[in-house]
Amino acid sequence: MSVIRIQGVRSLEGEIGIQGSKNAVLPVMAASLLHNGTIVIKNVPQIQDVFCMMEILEALGCECQLKQHELLIDTRRLRESQVPVRLGKQMRSSIMLLGPLLGRFHKAKTCYPGGCVIGRRPIDLHLLALRQLGADIDCEGEQITVRADKLQGTDLRLSFPSVGATENALMAAAAAKGVTRIYGAAREPEIEVLCRFLEAMGVRIDGIGGSLLTVHGGERLQDVEFRVPGDRIVAGTYLGALMVAGGELCLLGAPTDHMAGTLTALRQAGCLCKLYPDRIYARMKERPQPMDLSTGPYPEFPTDLQSVMLAVASVAQGRSRIRETVFEERFATAGELKKMGADISVEEGTAYVTGGYPLAGGEVCAADLRGGAALVTAGLASEGESRIHGYFHISRGYEDICRDLSAVGAAISLKED
C-alpha cells in the first residue's frame, strides 16, 4: 500500500499550480449526459474521482478521452441508465447522475452513493426535488430507481442549501418542460460553474450566484467547450500547509474570487495574502494566531477546510475554537492529529485546540479525503518522520500532493509499504 512519508520541519518557498476543481468538474461531467453530442472540458484534474466518473460514463455507453487536463465526452452512444453499483459506491457524486439520466431517458437507476464518511449524508433533498419535477421514486435497500414519463417545471424549495441536491435539481430542471424555480439553492461557486456550463449548452438560467435559480428547461442543447476553475479547497489546503511550515508561496490558478470566506479566516490567523485574479502570493513569518471559526454553507468558511484548519490550530500560539455546522461527523481526523501530539478536544460539534510547536511525527491513517490533507499538513510541522496511510482517500481529490509540496521544499514522498 502507498504511504506518504514526511520529514518535518522545513519551510516552503516557490510556486504551485492549482489543479482544476474536483467539486466543479464532477457535476459538469454528469450534466454532459443531458446533451446528445460531444463536450470538451478543460482544466480537468487527474484525480481518482474524475477517473471513477469517466468509468461510469463509459459503462453507460459514452466515450471519454482524458489527454493531460482536457476531457472529451461523446454521449452519442449513451444507451444505459443504470449506474454500476461497484462504481456508484466509490463516491458521493454518483447520485448526481440521477437528474441528467432522468432528463435523457425518463428513467435512471443507481445505488445509495459512497464517498467520505463525514456524517449520515442522506439524499432526501435530492429525491424530493426529482419527485416534485414529476419523477416516481422507488428505493429498495441500496437501490434507487427513478422514472418520469414527463418532467414538468415547478417551484422547488430546498429546506437546506444542499450542494448536491441543488445540482441534481438544476440538471433535471434543464430537461423539464417549462420553468423551474429553485428556492433556497446552494450558493457554492460550484453551483455557479454548473449553471454557466448549462447556459453554454443552451439552457437559460436566471439568478445565477443567488439562492433563487430560475431554469427555463426543455431547450435543444449544443456541443460546448468549457473550462472549470481552479480548486478553491486545494488552494486553501496549500495555504494551510504554508501556515504551519512558514515561508512564502505563489498559488497559480487559485480562484481568488471564490475564496473570500477562506482568506478572511486565514488572514485573521496571520497569513499574509496578496491577491491577483488568477493567483495568490502568501507569506507566513511566524506561528499562526489562534482562531475562532465556524463552517457553514457558502459564503461562510468551507467545511472542506475544517480538517486542515484543525492542523493549523494545532500549532497556533494559543487556544482555538473550530465549530462544524455542515457535517455532523467531520472531526474523525482529530483522533489522528492527537497521535501527532495535537491537543484537541471535541464537544458537541466544536473542537477546542491548544496549539503547541512542533508536533511529533507519527504513524497515522487518513479516514477521509480532507482529513488526509490535514494529516499531511500536520506532518509538515512535526519533528522527525510522519507516515500517513490511506493515500487512496487523498488521491480522490488531490492530483499529486507529494509532487506539489516537494516542489516548494517539503521533504515528502510517496512510498510503497
Q: Is 116 a catalytic residue?
A: yes
Q: How many CA atoms lie within 13 A of 271 on its CB side?
A: 32
List of residues 6+ apart from 248 with CB closer than 8 A? 12, 13, 242, 281, 282, 283, 284
Name which of 56, 166, 33, 153 is nearest 103 in CA terms: 33
For residue 260, the 8-state DSSP code is: H
Question: Do residues 382 and 6 touch, judged by C-beta distance below 8 A?
Answer: yes
Least spacing, CB of residue 327 vs ligand EPZ, in Å? 5
Q: Which residue lies nearer to ligand EPZ by CB, 9 or 30?
A: 30
Q: Which residue lies nearer to ligand EPZ by CB, 35 or 92?
A: 92
- Tell me which residue has its CB nearest to ligand EPZ: 164
**Per rule CB under 6 A, is residue 270 in the interface with ligand EPZ?**
no
Q: Which of 21, 23, 48, 306 binds ligand EPZ (CB under 6 A)?
A: 23
Least spacing, CB of residue 333 vs ligand EPZ, in Å? 12
**Per rule CB under 6 A, is residue 160 in the interface with ligand EPZ?**
yes
Q: Which residue lies nearer to ligand EPZ by CB, 122 or 210?
A: 122
Least spacing, CB of residue 330 vs ligand EPZ, in Å? 8
Grid cell digits, residue 174: 434543464
List of residues 6+ apart from 272 with CB closer than 8 A? 282, 283, 284, 285
416 burial (CB, 10 Å; 0-12 / 13-18 / 19+) is exposed
Residue 155 φ then ψ, to 5°: -90, 125
**Per rule CB under 6 A, is residue 304 in the interface with ligand EPZ?**
yes
Piece of 101-109, 116-124, 237-245, 409-417 that binds ligand EPZ (CB under 6 A): 116-124
Q: Which of 10, 232, 370, 393 binds ligand EPZ (CB under 6 A)?
A: 370
Residues recognised as catalytic: 116
Residues that bind ligand EPZ (CB under 6 A): 22-23, 26, 92-93, 116, 119-126, 160, 162-165, 186, 188, 303-304, 326-327, 369-370, 397
